[in-house]
Structure 1
Amino acid sequence: ICVPEPKTTTKNRVHLDLATTSAAHQTELVARLQALGATPVDVGQGDVPWTVLADPEGNEFCVLEPREIYRDTGPIAAVVVDCADPRAMARFWGEAIDWTLSEATDDHAVLRSAKGVGPYLEFLRTPDVKTVPDRVHLDLVPDVGDDKAAEVARLRALGATDLDVGQGDVPWTCLTDPEGHEFCVLARS
């Protein structure tokens, strides 16, 4: 979906972490992404072993150093969400998408598919308050045979709220999670 508003100077509260398999792979991936238009960016990360880049529209993402935990995720290691309460967010999203809690502390919570495949969904406590719409968001698809309206009602019962972004008459429903992060529930085609 095209977002008509330009990226502000505010750091995105949702971003991707990309996985690498070796130091050489990390170096090669960063170089390839920069050749495609990504630029290094400082979001206050300090001296860290990963590289923070921004895509051509300014959306931040990280190219991680090799980590054993991400060896089987594919190219996307994690979708990372800044939040005030990682445990509460993990409870909501764990119920919403039926993923398993891998780790939870006051500062960090991690979910992953119960099948142990694909990227992680990670929640990091940050002092920042959400002030602008997320430029990266999740789209959910009901399971085969599940009714989209029933799924939206279930998500509302878990704490999601309706969101009108001027989408008009579309086949998806826009919602926010308990901390205001936007997401959509798509209709199965």
Structure 2
Amino acid sequence: MCDERTDTPLPLCAACELELPWLGDRCERCALPLPMAGLTCGLCIKHPPAYESVYAPWVYGFPVDSLIIRFKHNSRWPYGRLLADILGQSLRDRFNTGDPQPDCLLQVPLSTQRLRQRGYNQAAMLAQWLSRDLGIPFHDDWLLRHQDTAAQQALDAKARKRNLLHAFSLAPQVDVRGLHLALVDDVLT
């Protein structure tokens, strides 16, 4: 990020890695930033989500936001690979301290139209890289997208929920009972 040379295995110096907008204390369930560790936010207590937990290493701020945008919209795949490498190391640290490792990774599928426009699914690329780095199987055909929905970034929270209703399903032959699944996407809103 600073254009200085680095001796680290990543193409990012230690100082720049420390300057990333790391998400600190957060809700144990949804990763909403909170003032102290070990808490669950009021919304997750009142309306528990269908998932167990979210792991988001960073707040969507500079420079992570620009790296994601360049990766997602400008086909700058090295930026996505860098983010996957740092995320993978962060997840490895969590697994080494007792967090359970998932049985497999799934990506958020793009609609056929959006995949045709973009030419690739950035969430699938992240999941593939993480799969290789962490040794966790990746199944790119387990989730199906049935609807082409409006872009999430232009919608408020209620509209985002409505926008995705009935948009996804499991492939008919897939049985996930008893499996710990991790859903990979590039941005969490």
Q: Quick check: which one's helix share is greater?
A: 2
TM-score (normalised: structure 1): 0.27
TM-score (normalised: structure 2): 0.27
Q: Quick check: which one's strand share is greater?
A: 1
